[in-house]
Structure 1
């Protein structure tokens, strides 16, 4: 029987909330994890009403806790809905403000950024929201530092994501932040979802249908992931794809919304995190197997990406650290 987690994730569901984002939260934070031998989170739903009519009357949610359950949250996911012009209810906004004052981690999926902004907790903070609402958001909340062209923004104790599918990206980012890259990879495998899309990737890329059927980066990405321990460079990637570095850059920008170097570094860091979590303590070995070169480079890059030194990362997310967390 999996051991229960003490970290409580609570989702506030309000009138006209989107079922998809609620499903994302449930899939990432609410499922039992027998394959891990422990549950990652204590997950609860709450609502200000005994019966909550979901978006467009698709169904009515009943049988969940009252709004006071949010006062016990370690992470609080705020309501989101498509009618962004209708003000949120005072009792919901008051609940969000109390949570922020307590130091609770706040999460807004898609239009949930509007809920956080209405509560006043985003003033002076970084956030994102769905690209189609960027202008309305800026007009209503000029004190918020909106980043409209990214998948999600991690601003420490307040995190926001863009349109619906980015809720999964942010959810997996939180799992990675709380439990490490190996656990996040396990959750993503169960979801059959990409293990890692960096928050800085673009939300939406306008591009025509390719004239040639062989312009997809998928074969190159799969090959590169199997050869991270070699001297992969951007010119080497371009050469393997039989295109110029300039063309490779254009395709990465068009298809992934990032650069080849940024993608390559992200993959190497993710592999390094997983190796450390699985017990590899020799930094030179980790650096060599990930293509990061030296232990010094590994330390620098890991600290930049996670805020932790390799030894700190090992203590927090290594097998011994996770056993202590599970207990």
Structure 2
């Protein structure tokens, strides 16, 4: 079987984890398997790179390694998003033109987008940089709900751990499911994770309104009793407001409607109960104020793209 050649691009101050993930998946983990890849770590000028952890990585190849590679991997990029060199961008463009697979892991997507390889395509990256990327690359559709996205010969992945998912996907595509599953078991990780980034993004729940209001005390009581049933007319009356004034001031202060605010708090309660108790889903539905188990499952899946049971398996500790 022909080995796929991989050029892995390194740079100064790269995280050791970001650099090591492709090395592990495409090379080091093939302990009792026939190696399917030939991996070369390269850098501009073949210079050794200083890792963010405080030690150096010795590099023997310059960016010419990209010229013949079947797969080019940009494993990350600095958080400050410096401009990639003209040489690197041109190498990526030529590799893409000759039908090489281009992979951007985490912020490595920035380099690929700068090369113009994501124009009119969908891509993902770390959720914390979604707004920056959308502003910088208006011709790219940033979809940060997925752990990785494949668009033709271009693959992009979300944050740190999602690099594993993306690399395993590439192994599965090129070498088959059996090989990918074997590698995943060897690394003691899941061969495929369901859901997406949404389950890892903190839900914004302001503790205090952004502007001075008269309903803070009332809302504190609501948080302490999520199982209650609330209507806008009663809440507005308790705040000495009309329904219309309450609705307007609430939206101005919290950036959402009262219903959305209440649902956010109930979902946060559900997360906490799933992670810290053995309660059934039906019981959690009652304790969180959602009420019906079916409604809990529907709202939870809609918000986090995983089931409550999957969330519990992923996030709970040993009780």
TM-score where L is the length of structure 1: 0.64
Distance in 1 separating the partners of 2:113 and 2:87: 15
Corresponding residue for 1:17?
14
SS of the residue 1:210 aligns to: helix
Worse-matched range after superposition: 197-206 or 68-77: 197-206
SS of the residue 2:83 aligns to: coil
**Rg larger in structure:** 2
**Aligned partner of 2:116 among 112, 120, 140:** 120
Structure 1 stretches of 4+ moved >4 Å:
198-201, 250-254
CA-atom RMSD in angstroms: 2.9
SS of the residue 2:72 aligns to: strand
1:46 matched to 2:42? The reply is yes
The Cα offsets for residues 35-59 of structure 1, whole Å up to 9 and x where unpaired, read as 33x1121111111133333344722
Corresponding residue for 1:323?
none
State the shift of 1:246 in Å.
2.8
State the shift of 1:29 in Å.
0.5
> CA, structure 1 residues 149+22, in 2 after alignment: closer, same or farther (shift >3 Å)?
same
**Aligned partner of 1:77 among 64, 73, 77:** 73
TM-score where L is the length of structure 2: 0.65
SS of the residue 1:14 aligns to: coil
1:210 matched to 2:210? The reply is no
The Cα offsets for residues 65-120 of structure 1, whole Å up to 9 and x where unpaired, read as 12111111111002522234311111111111111111100000010110001111
Is the Cα contact below 8 Å between 1:18 and 1:54 reproduced in 2?
Answer: no
> CA, structure 1 residues 160+18, in 2 after alignment: closer, same or farther (shift >3 Å)?
same
> CA, structure 1 residues 93+215, in 2 after alignment: closer, same or farther (shift >3 Å)?
farther
Q: 1:52-201 maps to which residues of 2 (within 5 A)?
A: 52-56=48-52, 58-198=54-194, 200=196
Distance in 2 separating the partners of 1:109 and 1:216: 38
Q: Number of paired residues?
A: 234
1:248 matched to 2:297? The reply is yes
> CA, structure 1 residues 199+103, in 2 after alignment: closer, same or farther (shift >3 Å)?
farther
Q: 1:283-294 maps to which residues of 2 (within 5 A)?
A: none
Is the Cα contact below 8 Å between 2:105 and 2:156 reproduced in 1?
Answer: yes
Distance in 1 separating the partners of 2:302 and 2:106: 23
Is the Cα contact below 8 Å between 2:3 and 2:35 reproduced in 1?
Answer: no
SS of the residue 2:67 aligns to: helix
Structure 1 unaligned runs (5+)? 221-237, 264-327
Is the Cα contact below 8 Å between 2:127 and 2:158 reproduced in 1?
Answer: yes
1:258 matched to 2:305? The reply is yes
SS of the residue 1:35 aligns to: coil
> CA, structure 1 residues 139+80, in 2 after alignment: closer, same or farther (shift >3 Å)?
same
Is the Cα contact below 8 Å between 1:53 and 1:60 reproduced in 2?
Answer: yes
Structure 2 unaligned runs (5+)? 203-267, 286-291, 311-319
